[in-house]
Structure formats: structure tokens, C-alpha cells
Amino acid sequence: MNEQISINLTSDITYVYGTVNGADADFYLSAPNIWTAVVPKSNDGVYVVEIIAYNNLGTPTEYKVNLYTSNGWLEPKIDWVPTDYYNFEDLNRVENNTLYIAELLRKFGVNLALVSFTDRDLKRIEFANSLNRIESNIEQLASRYVPSNWIPIKKDWKANTSFNYQDAIRLEHNLITLYKHYKGNLEIQPYCGVLICGEEVI
């Protein structure tokens, strides 16, 4: 079984060579600035990408990044109240569902190169730049379609900015709204071909 992974590079890149999880991978330009490779599926959903990208002057730049894929849609929590505790598993769920919707978008021809982390534990400390990245990822998911009940994302997380239950609701509400839209549209996509019923073959 294979997995399609993508990475976002600058517009002057003309050739990409590298490995994914230590194995050679063939990267191709699948959309503006998006380089994609089809690689063997990872058991843990982690893809270590090490590439050399050449620009139109032939100058190489090395990149190393860990990409993650989702473990399927995880049921979101949207009934947060002020007395609830927000834990690392909750951000893992948000990031996992972000990746899942990005996978759905690929079926509609939209390739997004998102960097997400779904392996938090008690040792990880979140900073403002992490929350800004999460919000930006969700905003990118809405680049093709913005639901009518979309809650605007917060773009200005700074040190000591408090995260409250309304922020938790916003993240999961926007994700479940996109999920319902794209999952529903996939289920009604028309199929091409011919269906013949009731004929006898002599």
C-alpha cells in the first residue's frame, strides 16, 4: 500500500531529488510550488523527508522535515465549557483531523503541504508559533471552500496569550464543518462508465 506525500517549496525550484524514510523517492510538481511523491505507506504515519531542491540557476538547497498522515477521522469534541481541561491528546486530535481533511482535499485536486504533529505527550510544551501554525493549517483547508458557518481563525497568537474553551470550540467546529462538506461530496460524486442490467447473453 502506498501513500502520497507533498512538500511546499519556493516557485523557483525546478528539480527535487531525495529520500522518504530512507528510500529513494521520485518527486514531481503536482501543483504550483507543491512537489509530490508516492511512497510506501508508513506503519506509524511518519515520513522523514530528506531532499535536495535545485532552483532554476542550478543552486541546491537541502531540506529535512518530518511529515505526518492521519490515522483516520477522530470524533471531535465541540461541547467545550469553561471548566474543561485541555490536554495534549486534544491538540493531537485537531492536527490528525486537519491531516485527514487534507487527504480528502487531494481527491478534489487540491494538494496542501501541511506540517502537523500528532505525537504529543506530557513532555511537550506548546508555544504561540505552534498555535499559529495549527490555525494557518486549518485556514489553508478552507482555501477551496469556506463554509457559511465558518468561525474566523485567530492569527495573532503571542506569548502569554491565553487559550480558552472558545478557542477549542473554534478549532474543532471548523474542522467538522469541512469534514461534513467534503465527505458528503465524495459520497455523491458521479461515476463514469456504463451499467447494463437485465440483458441476456446468448
pLDDT at residue 197, as a whole number: 46
Residue 199 has pLDDT above 80, yes or no: no
Using DSSP's 3-state secondary structure scheme, residue 138 falls into helix
For the entire predicted model, the pTM comes to: 0.72
Segment 127-167, tens digit of pLDDT? 899 999 999 999 999 999 999 999 999 989 999 899 999 99
Q: What is the dihedral of CA 21, 44, 104, 96, to 10 degrees?
A: -120
Where are the domains positioned within the chain? 2-68, 88-187
Listed as own residue / partner, the contacts of 163-167 with beta carbons closer than 8 Å and 24 or more positions apart are 163/86, 163/131, 164/82, 165/80, 165/81, 165/82, 165/84, 165/86, 166/80
Segment 36-92, tens digit of pLDDT? 899 998 877 788 999 999 999 999 999 998 777 777 899 999 999 999 999 999 999
Question: Nearest Cα to 138, choosing from 120, 154, 157?
Answer: 154
Asked if CATH classification 3.40.710.10 holds for the domain at 2-68, the reply, yes or no, is no
